[in-house]
Amino acid sequence: MERIELLDSTLRDGAQSESISFSVNDKLKVAKALLDLGVDLVEAGNPSSNPKDLEFFKRVDELGPDAKRLCAFGATRRKDTSVDSDPGLEALLSANTETVVIFGKSWDLHVTEVLRTDRAGNLAMIGDTIRFLRREGRTVVYDAEHFFDGYKADPVYALDTLRAAKEAGARCLVLCDTNGGSLPWMVQEAVRHVARELAMPLGIHAHDDAGMAVANSLAAVEAGAVHLQGTLVGFGERCGNANLSVCAAGVALKLGREVMDKGSLKQLGYAARLVAEIANFGFNESMPYLGRRAFAHKAGMHVDAVTKAPNTFEHVSPESVGNERRFLASEVGGRAALLDRIRAVEPGIGKDSPLAARVLGRLKDLEAKGYQFEAAEASLEMLVRRETGKHQPFFELRTYQVFGERPAAVPSLTSRAFVKVRVDGAEELAAAEGDGPVNALDLALRRALGRFYPSLGEMHLTDYKVRVLDGNDATAATVRVLVESSDLSTAWSTVGVSTDIIEASWLALVDSIEYKLARDGVKAPISETSSVATDGVAQSHDAAGAAKPKVAAKTESPHEAALHGGRK
């Protein structure tokens, strides 16, 4: 079976999308998600374009051995500069990646009007750059920018630019639909022509300005391309890039080619949602293959047909891409992937056990209210612990207060927070100033708990994101807060949802602290504020995370209490 190499450009082309801005830590997290998924090459940025990309390449060792699959991206040498003195090429070498992606001009319009050089000069720039990088021991993937527009205007010269790259030692020639205006039959004809003329590995890089990026990518593969570029969730400059998740599924399930590692298709949904969450980018639930609506059926003849023969209304099995079938009228089915989480806490639980059904049901309830756990696995683990009775609250909230100040005496300390907690009958009051209310609340909470749990001193909040879930409600809208925390050894993410942004943040902070303590094996105090519910469900909390007095009936977790009206 022929293997198609995938290159993801989320960290470079995707970062050029409107409203998306990755921090260096964000870039490291996205890179890890892509490498863990099994993407062959990850285009990580242009080290000569901005300090952030330069800093990223200095930290790639944090990604471990897989970092060798990262690529630096850059342009051919400047028209009036030698390769030995070109600052862009110097920056590319400083990134120290085994593979370098270089783009050059294929369209004579760009040669004369953008580069302001002649055709021969452009060919020299392409050849000189690739030969230089090859001499320096780099593998070169050559992106022929605007190839299809150039091919349409002058096919002979467009092929000459590719020939220059081939003769200089490029490993792969990538035909770029940079303007995104080509149609599949145009792409297919051009790819076949190039394959006949040059007889070397070809790739495709498609933009979505005409809504054809995925179709053009699959057409190119069918015509002989063996290298496919895109961004995992499809975002990119203007209308975006080819959605690499959809392309990967299509190449494997429709064209019968091999992509990534065995089993990677089933991880596509998780990875795509994680990358979207890191980018603070709303996930498209209508996305082919991966969206929640991709295999959703309403009551009636569709449901009846699917229950008898799924392929009557499903073009592939939802399980093949890690998704699930949903019947909207009755919401049957569950999340088999969640069983691993349940079994990590309660080994031996079967898919049909009442406990599994209860956890799955609670998860659906929370998601219906706006929770999302793909990028908040620590909150998911805490949910499972509470539902299985394996979790005891580590503290009781007595009260918290948050104040904002403008102008602030110290510009970087704009908020104050006061937190009072009770642990095993003893109370502690702490205050803190912070750069915003959540920072102050986080510092005050950990300061109050530090007397009882010293290990919290090594923990800190590393990222914080807010998403408005329903903008129609204006300032009364429900918000989802995603918090990332870390200590000396690892990082984890938690989530909170509320119409009150401070409360949503509090819920995420409480989960983060309790996850840290549970993971460290700290024993929760057994007192009147932390008792085990008699029906095997975790001890209840109020909406602010405080444990309630012991009761005989089933009680609620902090997240559940928030669903039923907020703080009691």
- List the structure tokens of 507: 């819920």
In terms of CATH, what superfamily is 396-563?
Alpha-isopropylmalate synthase LeuA, regulatory domain (3.30.160.270)
pLDDT of the residue at 142: 98
Dihedral, 314, 318, 324, 325 alpha carbons, nearest 10: 10
Q: What are 492's strand-pairing partners? A: 485
Q: Where are the domains of the chain?
A: 5-278, 396-563
What does the pLDDT look like over 86-122, one tens digit per residue?
999 999 999 999 999 999 999 999 999 999 999 999 9
Residues of the chain with pLDDT > 70, as a percent, come to 89
Residues in CB range of 301: below 8 A, 6 or more apart = none
What does the pLDDT look like over 148-188, one tens digit per residue?
999 999 999 999 999 999 999 999 999 999 999 999 999 99
pLDDT of the residue at 551: 28
pLDDT of the residue at 254: 97
Q: Alpha-carbon distance 275 to 408, whole Å? A: 36
What does the pLDDT look like over 521-563, one tens digit per residue?
888 885 544 333 222 223 333 333 333 333 223 334 444 444 4
In this predicted model, which residue has the larger pLDDT, 471 or 371? 371
In this predicted model, which residue has the larger pLDDT, 86 or 335? 86
**DSSP H or E stretch at residue 301:** helix 301-308
pLDDT of the residue at 354: 84
CATH of 5-278, one of 3.40.1190.20, 3.20.20.70, 1.10.1060.10, 3.30.300.30: 3.20.20.70
Mean of the per-residue pLDDT values of the chain: 86
In this predicted model, which residue has the larger pLDDT, 516 or 541? 516
What does the pLDDT look like over 486-511, one tens digit per residue?
887 677 889 999 999 999 999 999 99
Q: What is the DSSP letter of 146?
A: T
In this predicted model, which residue has the larger pLDDT, 292 or 288? 288
Residues 321-330: what's their mean pLDDT?
73
